Chains A and B, each alone.
Chain A
Amino acid sequence: MELATQLVTYGILIGCVFAFVSLGLSLIFGVMNIVNFAHGEFLMVGMYVAFLMSSYLPLDPLVSLPFAAALGFILGITSYRFLITHILRGPMVAQLFGTFGLMLFLRYLVMFVFGPDVRTLSHGILVGKTFSLGWVSLDASKVMAAGLCLLFFVFVYWMINRTKLGRALRATSLDAEAARYMGIDTENMNALAWGIGGATVGVAGGLLAHFYYVTPTVGMLFVLIAFATVALGGFGSISGAFLAGIIIGLIQVLGGHYLSELKFTFIYIAYFLTVVLRPRGLFGW
Chain B
Amino acid sequence: MGQLLRDIFSFGDRPLSERIVLLVFMAVVLTFPWLAESAYARAVMIKFLLIALFGLGWNLIGGYGGQVDLGQAKNVGFGAYATALMMFHWRTSFWLTVPVGIFFATLESFAVAYPMFRLRGHYFAIATLCVALVWKELFIFWDWTGGARGVEIPIKPTPNFTYMQFGSVGYHYFIFGLFMAQFLFMNWFRKSKLGYQLQAVRDNEDAAASLGINVTGTKVIAYCITAALGAVGGSFMTAYYLYIDPDLVMPLDLSILIAMTVMVGGAGSIWGPMIGAAALIPLDMYLGAWLAGGGHYGIDFMIYGFIIMIIAAYEPKGIWGMIERLTKRG
CB within 8 Å of B: which residues of A? 35, 83, 86-87, 90-98, 100-109, 111-112, 115-116, 216, 220, 224, 227, 231, 259, 261-262, 264-265, 268-269, 271-272, 275-276, 279
By the criterion CB–CB under 8 Å, are A264 and B137 in contact?
yes
B122-141 residues at the A interface, CB under 8 angstroms = 122-123, 125-127, 129-131, 133-134, 137-138, 140-141
Given the interface pairs A116-B297, A268-B130, the reply to whether A104 lies near B122 with Cβ below 8 Å is no
By the criterion CB–CB under 8 Å, are B127 and A271 in contact?
yes
Given the interface pairs A91-B316, A265-B138, A268-B134, the reply to whether A108 lies near B305 with Cβ below 8 Å is yes
By the criterion CB–CB under 8 Å, are A94 and B312 in contact?
yes
By the criterion CB–CB under 8 Å, are A83 and B68 in contact?
no
Docked pose: A115 CA to B141 CA in angstroms = 28
Tell me which residues across on chain B come within 8 A of A265, comparing CB atoms: 133-134, 137-138
Docked pose: A83 CA to B267 CA in angstroms = 21
Tell me which residues across on chain A come within 8 A of B15, comparing CB atoms: none
Docked pose: A100 CA to B313 CA in angstroms = 12
Tell me which residues across on chain A come within 8 A of B310, comparing CB atoms: 101
**Min CB gap B292→A, angstroms:** 10
Docked pose: A227 CA to B137 CA in angstroms = 19
Docked pose: A35 CA to B115 CA in angstroms = 21
By the criterion CB–CB under 8 Å, are B256 and A272 in contact?
no
Q: How many contacting A-B pairs (Cβ < 8 A)?
A: 138
By the criterion CB–CB under 8 Å, are B308 and A101 in contact?
yes
B311 interface residue (CB < 8 Å to A): yes
Q: Which of A97, A102, A227, A269 contacts B263 (CB 8 A)?
A: A97
**Min CB gap A88→B, angstroms:** 10
Tell me which residues across on chain A come within 8 A of B118, comparing CB atoms: 276, 279
Docked pose: A94 CA to B134 CA in angstroms = 26
Tell me which residues across on chain B come within 8 A of A96, comparing CB atoms: 68, 121-122, 125
By the criterion CB–CB under 8 Å, are B309 and A105 in contact?
yes
Q: Which residue of A lies closest to B140 (CB)?
A: A261
Tell me which residues across on chain A come within 8 A of B227, comparing CB atoms: none
By the criterion CB–CB under 8 Å, are A83 and B313 in contact?
yes
16 inter-chain pairs at a CB distance below 8 angstroms, sorted by A residue, are A83-B309, A94-B311, A94-B316, A96-B121, A97-B260, A97-B263, A97-B308, A101-B307, A101-B308, A104-B301, A109-B302, A115-B297, A116-B297, A224-B126, A259-B141, A272-B131
Tell me which residues across on chain B come within 8 A of A35, comparing CB atoms: 122, 126
By the criterion CB–CB under 8 Å, are B301 and A98 in contact?
no
By the criterion CB–CB under 8 Å, are A101 and B309 in contact?
yes
Q: Which of B126, B141, B298 contacts A112 (CB 8 A)?
A: B298
By the criterion CB–CB under 8 Å, are B297 and A272 in contact?
no
B261-303 residues at the A interface, CB under 8 angstroms = 263, 267, 295-302
B89-115 residues at the A interface, CB under 8 angstroms = 115
Q: Which residue of A lies closest to B119 (CB)?
A: A275
Could you say which of A101, A112, A264 has the most chain B C-beta atoms within 10 Å of its C-beta? Answer: A101
Q: Which of A94, A102, A108, A115 contacts B295 (CB 8 A)?
A: A115
Docked pose: A87 CA to B314 CA in angstroms = 8
By the criterion CB–CB under 8 Å, are B297 and A87 in contact?
no
